A and B are shown apart, each in its own frame.
Chain A
Amino acid sequence: MRIRCPYCGPRDHSEFSYEGDATIKRPQNEDAKAWHDYVYLRANPRGRHKELWSHVAGCRAWVVVERNTLTHEIYESYLPGDMKDD
């Protein structure tokens, strides 16, 4: 599988470390539900998924990858700062 690092270009997936859901946001308050969801709850979508990978064997940039969990097709990848909220 190939993942395109925004800096280094397309690279083999073995250069990356998978870190999970990219849409989770660290709560800015003490809301119990927000913290519970942040630490413990993850959606498990069938289909398009935004996930975080770190280019550990390369430039060590964190990359958001939009990938289909069913077909493994990779749609796009970009830096976390460029992620738009759905």
Chain B
Amino acid sequence: MVKLNARSALESGYVLGTHGARLDNPIRLWERRGLIMHNLAVWDTEAVNGLLQPQLGIRLPETGQSTVNSSACVLWTGPGRYLIAAGEPGTAEILSAVSDEHCALQDMSSARTVVRIQGDACRSMMAKGLTVNIAKQVFTTGQVILSSFDHHYPVIIHNVSSDIDTFDIYITRSFALSFWHWLCDSSLEFGYQVIDAETNG
């Protein structure tokens, strides 16, 4: 059968290599492609946890938080709303087992482009465009921020750090390339390195 190809919104701007100031610790940037993402709207949290826990081994997170296991991560994205990002194809089937009565599910795998950034300078770089406090003591591992960069780019930022500062930025797809330009420009003074995209799914 002929195949339709999935293409990244960043294709035309994704230039591998080191750019900007030649410094020791450049910011590393790469796209996380192929993630299976679903929007989950919940009316009954306990009922849904009762279904998710046995099926996926994961519970819904608290406000502003995330829950993560080896196959999926669930981000809080609003009152009664969550984003489930998974690397494994089987997740979609499992999720569809979730009942209509307590929640509603919607495939959003194409709706957002996901960029991961890593490095000591990440927070200083993001602070150029975020009017939210992202200091180390305040924005900690596992937390989720819903905001916008430079008043224009709507994002979900997931702090996935453990040792090195690492953040996943989920950007609305139609804005993605424009945002990528902004991200790269913001990183010039710290030096940045674009590495090969990660493929999932």
Interface residues of chain A, those whose CB is within 8 Å of chain B, are: 7-9, 11-12, 14-15, 57-61
Contact = CB atoms under 8 A, between A and B. Distances in A.
A54 to B, nearest CB: 12
B151 A14 contact: yes
Nearest to B155: A57
Contacts of B131: 11-12, 14-15
A60 B154 CA distance: 11
A11 to B, nearest CB: 7
28 contacts: A7-B63, A7-B64, A7-B78, A7-B79, A8-B64, A8-B145, A9-B64, A11-B131, A11-B132, A11-B147, A12-B131, A14-B131, A14-B151, A15-B131, A15-B147, A15-B148, A57-B147, A57-B151, A58-B146, A58-B147, A58-B148, A59-B77, A59-B78, A59-B79, A59-B81, A59-B146, A60-B78, A61-B79
Given A15-B131, A59-B78, A61-B79, A8 B151 contact: no
Contacts, number: 35
Interface in B118-137: 131-132
Chain B, interface SS category: strand
Interface in B91-148: 131-132, 145-148
Given A12-B131, A14-B131, A57 B148 contact: yes
Contacts of B147: 8, 11, 15, 57-58
Interface in B42-65: 63-64
A60 B147 CA distance: 10
User: Which among B131, B145, B151 has the highest number of chain A CB atoms within 10 Å?
Assistant: B131
A12 B150 CA distance: 12
B79 A57 contact: no
A12 B149 CA distance: 12
Given A8-B64, A58-B146, A59-B77, 20 more contacts: A7-B63, A7-B79, A8-B145, A8-B146, A8-B147, A11-B132, A11-B147, A14-B131, A14-B151, A15-B131, A15-B148, A57-B147, A57-B148, A57-B154, A58-B147, A59-B78, A59-B146, A60-B78, A61-B78, A61-B79
